[in-house]
Amino acid sequence: MPIVNKQKQIKEIIRCGKDPVYFINKYLKIQHPTRGLIGFNTYPFQDDCLKQFVDHRFNVILKSRQLGISTISAAYAVWLAAFYKDKNVLVIATKLAVAQNFIKKVKISIKSMPNWLLLPEITANNKQTIEFSNGSQIKAVPTSDDAGRSEALSLLIVDEAAFVRNFDELWTSLYPTISTGGRAIVLSTPNGVGGQYHDLWLKAESGENEFNPIKLPWDVHPEHDEEWFEKESKNFTNKQIAQEFLCDFAASGDTYLSNDEIDWIGSCVRPPMERWGPEMGVWVWKYSLSEHKYIVSADVARGDAQDYSTFHVIDTNESEVVAEYKGKVPPDQFAVLLAEAGKRYGNALVCPENNTYGYAVIMKLTELGYKNLYFKNEKDKFNALYGLGETPLHKIGFTTSGQSRSQILTKLEQVIRNREIRVYSSRLYEEMKTFIWKGSKAQAQKGKNDDLVMSLAIGVWLFDTSPVNSKHAVDINKAMLNAFAVNTTDAGAMTSPWADKAVNPFKPIVISQMPESGSQTPYGDFSWLL
């Protein structure tokens, strides 16, 4: 029955302005796919989301599909814009159709409100924008480089953030628009590990930023039982199930290694016992033993770009990585590091990549007088062509090509899958999580690195194929190490923009109670309605 008494209407306005859960359940409707226009009777997990939207300035939601979280976010935006003046709500969607669908949900909610409750008039109404006479507006736009850049936002909603193109750059440009008191809701199903949405979620879980984490797997919905799950997921792949239902980052991505293999690497991670070299970039887990043989494999970079020069020291007797380097130094300095590492490990066999800058490293190593360099016998194609014999050429280092790259990565996957080598590095672990398939090529996820992966792949290949260092001569079936604590001291190469306190000063927040009296709320004064 409609409320006609003026005093009762005022009381109802006050109650709705303070409590979005009450307002949405009492007055809003939604478009059900089979039952048509029905009352918005929220479930407990949806009520909890709404309360956390009020209690926390920043919220990040990791969710399953078919939970109505986008619809809840639309209703929340309506509540904020209708009851508070000058609220600028911006929704960032993956594409135009998704943005327009969000506004459609907003319009359905507004249309369901009684006239006496919707006091501000609608002054603009199109497929992407709703504007009110109280100065508030709700706008939904597809992803673009300049989306919302010049606006001062009261609420930013990023829908399916894990799938938004260039999300890290987008956030960098959008954060200043909410830095003076605005709020943010970032929601998505997972899309593999390593992206900015993944980084945001991990830091929210560990309390390293100001985002309040809300995890919503499929079974939070009271109507979703095992029978429902089996029916809904039967036509999905394992990856799709992880993405759409399980809130599983690792299994939802196209990682080169399986989820079990990545987890196993993570279980072996432990802090180094020593660090040395430029910026303490050489990490050491075990010292040299006189009776053991070692190899050093290296991936070479220019030294001043995004890529890193890396090397691994592998103990061929124990089938384990005992030291590694990751850093940015010029090729000649990298050669000095390689020579030093080789000497520290019993004049180990050193095998650098010989492409481009690798050649400069090899020349410097020979200049330094380091004798134990890996070389491969190759036929002299010129002599063979002109019938001058097949005198072998001694080619130092490893030659990376499309074919050889595929071969060494295949060998690396095999060795890790069979638990035939132990690695302890948190830096390598992080790279493995973001080493993905892109089409038919395995490579680092955009914005990430795979230099340690490639260095280890060269080392594993050398370990397996070099006649004098064949892993078949050692016991590869020795027991693997148990789980170790993950090292978190690497503050250089893998630091996320989300951790930049100057740009994004996130801090943990304690859930507070909603205001019980008065017209003041976290959003300001809504007494203008009365």
The tens digit of pLDDT for each residue in 85-111 reads: 999 999 988 888 888 889 999 999 998
Calculate the alpha carbon distances from 318 to 3, 288, 324, 372, 410 in Å.
80, 12, 16, 21, 22
Asked if the structure places residue 40 within a domain, the reply is: yes
Asked if the structure places residue 459 within a domain, the reply is: yes
Asked if the structure places residue 422 within a domain, the reply is: yes
**Do both 246 and 274 map to the same domain?**
no
**Do both 373 and 439 map to the same domain?**
yes
What's the number of domains the chain is made of?
Answer: 2
Residue 34: predicted pLDDT:
75
The token pair that represents 235 in the structure block: 């036509």
Amino acid identity at 335: A
**Do both 348 and 463 map to the same domain?**
yes
**Do both 116 and 162 map to the same domain?**
yes
Range of the structural domain that residue 60 is part of: 6-255+514-529
pTM over 0.75: no
**Do both 233 and 265 map to the same domain?**
no
Banded model confidence at residue 303, pLDDT cuts 50, 70, 90: low
The tens digit of pLDDT for each residue in 135-185 reads: 999 998 887 755 555 578 899 999 888 888 777 777 777 888 887 788 999
Residue 429 has pLDDT above 80, yes or no: yes
Number of H helices, E strands in the chain: 17, 22
Compare 134 and 177 and report the one with higher pLDDT: 134
Residue 226 has pLDDT above 60, yes or no: yes
Asked if the structure places residue 505 within a domain, the reply is: no
**Do both 275 and 233 map to the same domain?**
no
Banded model confidence at residue 30, pLDDT cuts 50, 70, 90: confident
Choose among 130, 120, 181, 172: nearest CA to 152: 181
The tens digit of pLDDT for each residue in 47-72 reads: 999 999 999 999 999 998 889 899 99
Asked if the structure places residue 417 within a domain, the reply is: yes
The CATH number linked to 411 is 3.30.420.240
* Average pLDDT of the chain to the nearest whole number: 80
Helices (H), 33-153: 44-55, 69-83, 96-112
* 3-state SS, one letter per residue, for 341-373: HHHHCCCCEEEEECCCHHHHHHHHHHHCCCCCE
Asked if the structure places residue 507 within a domain, the reply is: no
**Do both 377 and 272 map to the same domain?**
yes
**Are the C-beta atoms of 195 and 448 separated by less than 8 Å?**
no
Residue 225: predicted pLDDT:
87
Asked if the structure places residue 493 within a domain, the reply is: no
Banded model confidence at residue 456, pLDDT cuts 50, 70, 90: very high
Residue 510 has pLDDT above 80, yes or no: no
Banded model confidence at residue 243, pLDDT cuts 50, 70, 90: confident
The CATH number linked to 98 is 3.40.50.300
**Do both 205 and 57 map to the same domain?**
yes
The tens digit of pLDDT for each residue in 205-215 reads: 888 888 999 99
- Residue 79: CB atoms within 10 A of its CB come to 24
**Do both 467 and 401 map to the same domain?**
yes
**Do both 423 and 519 map to the same domain?**
no
Q: Using alpha carbons only, what angle is made at residue 166 by residues 162 and 169, rounded to the nearest 5 degrees? A: 115
Banded model confidence at residue 252, pLDDT cuts 50, 70, 90: low
**Do both 216 and 267 map to the same domain?**
no
CA atoms within 13 A on the CB side of 37: 10
The tens digit of pLDDT for each residue in 329-388 reads: 999 999 999 999 999 999 999 999 888 788 899 999 999 999 899 887 555 444 444 444
Asked if the structure places residue 328 within a domain, the reply is: yes
**Do both 326 and 221 map to the same domain?**
no
